[in-house]
Structure 1
Amino acid sequence: MSRQQTIFISTAVLAVFLLFFFGRTVADHSGHNHTAPAVQNSGAQGLDFPTMLGLAKKRLTPLQLEKVTQWENAVVRGNVKDQQIQTYKTLSRFWMDSIGAFVPYVKYMGEAAELESSEKNLTFAAHLLLAELQKVEEEPLKVWMAKEAKELFEKALELNPANDSTKVGLGSTYFFGAADNEPPMKGIGLIREVAEKNPDNAFAQYMLGVGSAVSGQWPKAIERFTKVAELEPDNLEVLLRLADINERTGDKAAAKKWYQQLLQSIKRQEQSGKMKPNPEMVKQIEQHVKSL
């Protein structure tokens, strides 16, 4: 799998674990503050970037706000594309490194990528959005992220129409409300096109599984995720999804099997140094298996 695909799948493992075992009351977003809950709680039906940016700015010190305003003005006044690109990158780094605010971080990353016409950077930002939106509780924010990802994937696809990973990513955004006036099946069609051409494309099979899970089609989700597990035996998120789906559909024997495979994979990866030991997570899974 490509680096973007790996990022998409691997960055969600902890969030999925928290969701399955602790429910949506756990407000862990991998250290990112998404900046939008206040808007959603006010009853807003949609979000836009200026509104979320305004919320994020309330967290800044006077000195930080002065710096951000200077950079923003530099973008507006600048008439040299390279200067605008560098300023967007500066804003992106600031919002992540100094504040930990994901929305302005990825928005400015995308702005720079669009000016650069960089397929690599466009897809990188799009995959980050696609991964992060699945950890989000607030529906308006989830939809905003999906629409942003869709736009970036579309621009990347214009640069390289043959990129299967980009096609799958674009199709996946439809699951989360990215397309206002287009049928959701259009997104499924994009992914199926890739999966039918190459049944061993794990990213395509995975996203078809996600689409089935989102729509509650559990047998189809199990079929797709099982295919990914065959292709990638140490894909922790897929193993966890298979365990959870079988459990919620009443097949405790299958659930135990997948939980046990998950535990074995975690221990293998810890021993090989591919992931840091997480004894608390292992303990929680072991206790859960005993309770089945």
Structure 2
Amino acid sequence: MQRNQLLVLGLAVVIVTALFAFGRITPKVHEHEHAAAPGGAMPQGMGQAVAAADFSDLLKKAKSKVPADKLVEITSLENTVVRGDVKSQQIAAYQQLYTIWDGLNELPVAAYYAAESAKLENSGKSLTFAANLFLDHLSHTQDAGVRMWQANTAIELLDRAIALEPNNDTLKIKKGAVLVANTGEPMKGIGILREVAERNPDFLDAQLTLANFSITSGQFDKAIERMENVLQRHPEEPKALFLLAVAHQSKGDNAKAVELLRQCRKLIKDPALAAEIDGYIKSIQ
């Protein structure tokens, strides 16, 4: 599904993008709506329990690559955090550490310090920002232990943000998607996604995420039904048209997929993405 992954990325469906990125073959999960059909692949993490990496190990490895002068600055800020008895001072030190590590392109370490700052600040905005740092880097992480640490930390941050913003369905969808794709609790995640989708059928991210899980688990008919329902209400939604096309193509109905992709293509303004869709159409004709 490499071309599908690129196209979903271009459509900027953030949650769906992440799910396709982790759409590797993993053990099946039985007895819920998105258990794999025969021969279907489950998203990475479904039903798996991987030991999370230890941040101290990640930090030690990252520090081994830091120039001496920069390491002195980092150590000084770390000491400021330890000695600081004023929360604002600790927040400022964590934010500086985030900026330094981000500049060094050590993104997981940078995200950790953004998270520590956000926990102290305790605002929905800062917690969501930090959670998104972990979520954004998940798709680039190959080490299963690091990926689990990132997923667990993202969930913790999302839980804190949801506690502050209990009506924010976008945060709930992100949490549900992480649980399904990256932890050993896929059914819990599916439950969160379905609760949002059933309560608010017009919440597009929920519908797209569930349809994507249906596709990656081989349940193409479920994805088709869900996207057709969305298109009844939003007939010119390109992301729904695209996922519906993927589901039909996955079933072997290339003619229907091409028809839907052409409809999707007409709604796309980005020339680069339009070219990708054209290439996808040619590849399945």
Give the TM-score normalised by the residue count of structure 1.
0.70
1:149 aligns with: 154
After TM superposition, the structure 1 = structure 2 runs for residues 1-292 of structure 1, keeping only pairs within 5 Å, are 10=12, 12=14, 46-96=52-102, 98-178=103-183, 183-225=185-227, 231=234, 233=236, 240-266=242-268, 268=269, 270=270, 277-278=271-272, 282-292=274-284
Aligned-pair distance for 1:226? 5.1
Root mean square deviation, CA, Å = 3.4
Kindly tell me: are residues 291 and 211 of structure 1, through their superposed partners in 2, closer, same or farther at Cα, counting changes over 3 Å? closer
Conserved in 1, the CA contact under 8 Å of 2:130 and 2:157? Answer: yes
Kindly tell me: are residues 141 and 70 of structure 1, through their superposed partners in 2, closer, same or farther at Cα, counting changes over 3 Å? same
What CA deviation, in whole Å up to 9, does each residue of 1:32-56 have, x standing for no partner?
A: xxxxxxxxxxxx9541222222232
Conserved in 2, the CA contact under 8 Å of 1:175 and 1:214? Answer: no
What CA deviation, in whole Å up to 9, does each residue of 1:157-212 have, x standing for no partner?
A: 2223232222222222211333x5xx432222222222111100112212222333
Conserved in 1, the CA contact under 8 Å of 2:52 and 2:147? Answer: no
- Distance in 2 between residues matched to 1:289 and 1:60, nearest whole Å: 47
- Distance in 1 between residues matched to 2:177 and 2:211, nearest whole Å: 10
Aligned-pair distance for 1:240? 4.8
Conserved in 1, the CA contact under 8 Å of 2:77 and 2:93? Answer: yes
RCO greater where, 1 or 2, for CA within 8 Å and sep 6 or more? 2
Conserved in 1, the CA contact under 8 Å of 2:180 and 2:187? Answer: no
Conserved in 2, the CA contact under 8 Å of 1:127 and 1:169? Answer: no
* Matching residue's letter, 1:73: N
Give the TM-score normalised by the residue count of structure 2.
0.72
- Distance in 1 between residues matched to 2:230 and 2:75, nearest whole Å: 46
* Matching residue's letter, 2:221: P
Conserved in 1, the CA contact under 8 Å of 2:261 and 2:277? Answer: yes
- Distance in 2 between residues matched to 1:284 and 1:171, nearest whole Å: 29
**Structure 1: gaps of 5 or more residues:** 1-6, 25-43, 271-276
